Amino acid sequence: MKLPESICGRVTTEQAESLPRLLLALGWEVEQEAQTGDIVCILFAGEKAHEDYALFKALAPFVRKDSFIAMEGEDGCLWRWWFNGRTVREQSGLIIYI
């Protein structure tokens, strides 16, 4: 996997040695499956987002189809990154009450 230049400049070589360490350096905590080491959950724990779309675009071919990461901004704005098994799309969100 080739990381975008905008990501490479924000992490050290040591942080980039493993995906969980890289994600942690970029403000994302991960939960891994004990036996396989697969990442099964990701949670934003940083204070400010970085080049997340560029990161997820690089990771997209390795993410299970129909996975998504839902977000809510400080201003109440909703969006998610949705993975189709090959690429990722950023989608705006809206809550509708019926």
Say which residue, 49 or 92, is predicted with more confidence. 92
Confidence of residue 51 (pLDDT cuts 50, 70, 90): confident
Pairing of strands 78-83, 28-32: unpaired
Residue-wise pLDDT tens digits, 7-24: 666 777 777 788 898 888
Report CA-CA distances (Å) from 5 to 43, 47, 54, 61, 86.
23, 21, 9, 18, 21
Q: What percent of the chain has pLDDT over 90?
A: 56
Residue-wise pLDDT tens digits, 28-48: 999 999 999 999 999 999 877
> What pTM did the predictor assign?
0.79
Average pLDDT on 60-74 reads 93
Report CA-CA distances (Å) from 64 to 39, 69, 76, 85.
11, 12, 28, 6
